[in-house]
Amino acid sequence: MSTPETTETQPLVEPADDRGWWHRSHPTFAGITGFFAGMLFVTALPGAFAGALRLTFSDERARDLFPLVLVALVLPVVLLVKRKTRRFAIYMVIGMVVTALVVLGVTSLVLWFMVQYDVT
């Protein structure tokens, strides 16, 4: 026989997840964050690297060391290799390529207009 104290059910306690449902299960989270991370990777990283080099080294030495920023391209490759981060990395590479294409396209268009309509 059971007593009333033993038949009582305890409420189910779920583990607290601080990230919320958006980070855990929303299908577009990896795509959006990856794309914008790729944009920042192409625009902000070389500028920050150049600024750090200019603060720490002379101008000539900073110019010589600037190609080392290409070592940062290892990050997207490593993210592509790991299965857990592959979706994020794919969208990061897409963001990098689209940003580079837009920057090159706008630059070439502005240069063409400057040369075409040079009024001297």
Burial of 91 (0-12, 13-18, 19+ CB in 10 A): buried
Q: How sure is the predictor about 20, in pLDDT bands with cuts at 50, 70 and 90?
A: low
The length of the chain is: 120
Pick left, alpha or beta for residue 8 (phi over 0 → left; psi -120 to 50 → alpha; otherwise beta): beta
At 99, which amino acid appears? T
pTM: 0.71
At 24, which amino acid appears? R
- Please say if the pLDDT value at position 17 is more than 60: no
Q: How sure is the predictor about 119, in pLDDT bands with cuts at 50, 70 and 90?
A: confident
For 21-45, the pLDDT digits (tens) are 656 667 788 889 999 999 999 999 9
